[in-house]
Structure 1
Amino acid sequence: MGQFDGKVVYITGIARGQGRNHALRFAREGASIIGLDIAGPVADHTTYPPATPDDLAETARLVEEAGGKILARQGDVRDLAFQQQLVADGVEQFGGLDVVVVNAGVLTWGLSWEMSEEQFTDVIDVNLVGAWKTLRATLPSMIEAKNGGSVVIVSSVAGLKAMPVQASYSASKYGLTGLAQVVAKEVAPYRIRVNSIHPYAVNTPMGVADSSALEVFSTERFTRFFPSMMDYNPVAEPDEVSDAILYLCSDAAKSLTGVQLPIDMGHSKV
């Protein structure tokens, strides 16, 4: 028996990293998964390796190997019609929708006055507008079903404490923090809870294989902005983030909504 037996979970950005880990963890707890990932380059200004169609196929294989059911498609969170169709097909296949994890995101680096227009608008479009489109595609089904549910929006510690050289990323993540607050208030009458989580560094390709991040973190004039309280634990594992998401979506957190949960080694308090 799993704590999410019979539940249906929609997750964006599932090809690898945090999204894959969330899908696997929910599947092991009995949930069916509806997921998407662009599984390819998002923009030419990102400096970490993109996910691939093979990564997405591997996520599906791993979920099924764990005994779970999954409907996974390659697509862009910026495409509202694509998401609406995926939700409709997933609800038809699995019988409902109970949990939404707004996970997909991108990151770019640059000084505010040197960024290209694309570096700013692409990140806002994927991280913030894409998140709204995810909610626009999923919430009507949850509301109509009248079964309640849970939404977790993956913001960032950069949505609580602004980071240098991350104007578009921090702006998008602060936007997600506000979006989560608005939606939590709007859907509370439907017994749907909405919370945001705020990771710092996570051991994923986006988190530890970004050449620009490594350069910024070693730049002397910026290093004072990046310390945490836990030098002995500088990078979280994906399971630590999944632990928080599964908790927020479980009955153990039935009194929690509108919460901003940091998973940041104390960084936001330094």
Structure 2
Amino acid sequence: MGMLDGKVVLVTGGSRGQGRAHALTSAREGADIVIVDVAENLPTVTYPMARTDDMTATVEAVEALGRRIVAMEADVRDQAQLDAAVARGIADLGQIDVLIANAGIWTQAPFYELTDDQWEEMIDVNLSGVWRSAKAVAPHMIERNSGSIVMISSVNGLEPGPNFAHYTAAKHGVVGLMKTVALELAPHGIRCNSIHPGAVRSGMTENQMAFDMYAGGPGGTIDDLIKAGKHYGALKGSTFMAPETIANAALFLNSELASSITGITLPVEAGHLLMAGVNVSPVD
């Protein structure tokens, strides 16, 4: 018996990385899947984003597990596209039991150098996109008096991060959104929680922008990323985590094991938030 037998799970940003891990982990536990992804680059994002072939690979992997899947290209900045994906999922698979609002982007610049476009696109994807996703599934879940929503935030939804104020602001905003959604939907038997990943290997982190950040300058490599990850967590042997680590946390929150858990922030970060930290660039 799987932990999600008979359930249908909708994953935004489901084509690769954490999104694919959520889809496959849920499918292994008996769920049918709906994935949506914009499947194109966004103007302010400097690393390559998921493409249609990534979505196809996720579809094939879910089907190889013997589960059904609906895949649609949809942009979390567009409510009509999300509503259409939910309607398609319900029509083809019968219902939507779970939403994992995973779609997100990451870019860097000091807050005083961010352009309006960078700020607005970040907030529109990483915060407003989560709101739109929850808004798309809420009427159906309310009608059924059942459902679970997991919003993927970040450790930067609980602590600051240098040179990505727009990302940090969006991820902090997800916490307030999650708590309000949890409060409003509790009378309908619907739970809502947020997960706060630490360092995770994915397309968002395995790119030149991230390599250079962790190397401290241009020319960074994957080795710099892994080395930096060893300093990130408190747990022995920790470094950048596999996406499946986050998917397992979502699986717990979406299962009956968490049937009385709602409105919580769940860090998954190898003990990163336990550490006081150091000033790596002191100024006299």
Match of 2:35 in 1: 35
Q: CA deviation at 1:268?
A: 2.1
Residue pair 1:47, 1:212 contacting (<8 A) in 2 also = yes
**Is 1:198 matched up with 2:196?**
yes
Q: Which amino acid aligns with 2:253?
A: L
**Is 1:216 matched up with 2:221?**
no
Q: Which amino acid aligns with 1:188?
A: A
Where does the alignment leave 5 or more consecutive residues of structure 1 unmatched? none
Residue pair 1:14, 1:56 contacting (<8 A) in 2 also = yes
Runs (4+) of structure 1 exceeding 6 A deviation are none
Q: Which amino acid aligns with 2:110?
A: L
Q: CA deviation at 1:203?
A: 1.3
Distance 1:49 1:202 in 2: 17
Match of 1:144 in 2: 143
Distance 1:112 1:248 in 2: 34
1:269 to 251, 269, 274: 274
- Match of 1:257, SS state, is coil
- Match of 1:265, SS state, is coil
Q: CA deviation at 1:228?
A: 3.1
- Calculate the aligned-residue CA RMSD, in Å: 1.5
Q: CA deviation at 1:230?
A: 3.6
Q: CA deviation at 1:62?
A: 0.8
- What is the number of equivalent residue pairs in this alignment? 263
Report the TM-score when normalising by structure 1.
0.93
Q: CA deviation at 1:254?
A: 1.1
Residue pair 1:104, 1:127 contacting (<8 A) in 2 also = yes
Percent identity between the aligned chains? 42
Where does the alignment leave 5 or more consecutive residues of structure 2 unmatched? 218-227, 276-284
Match of 1:186 in 2: 184
Q: Which amino acid aligns with 1:160?
A: L
Q: CA deviation at 1:231?
A: 6.6
Distance 1:216 1:27 in 2: 35
Residue pair 2:199, 2:232 contacting (<8 A) in 1 also = no
Match of 2:243 in 1: 238
Q: CA deviation at 1:216?
A: 2.6
- Match of 2:88, SS state, is helix
Q: Which amino acid aligns with 1:5?
A: D
45-54 vs 30-39, greater mean Cα deviation: 45-54
Residue pair 1:11, 1:102 contacting (<8 A) in 2 also = yes
Match of 2:20 in 1: 20
Residue pair 2:99, 2:148 contacting (<8 A) in 1 also = yes
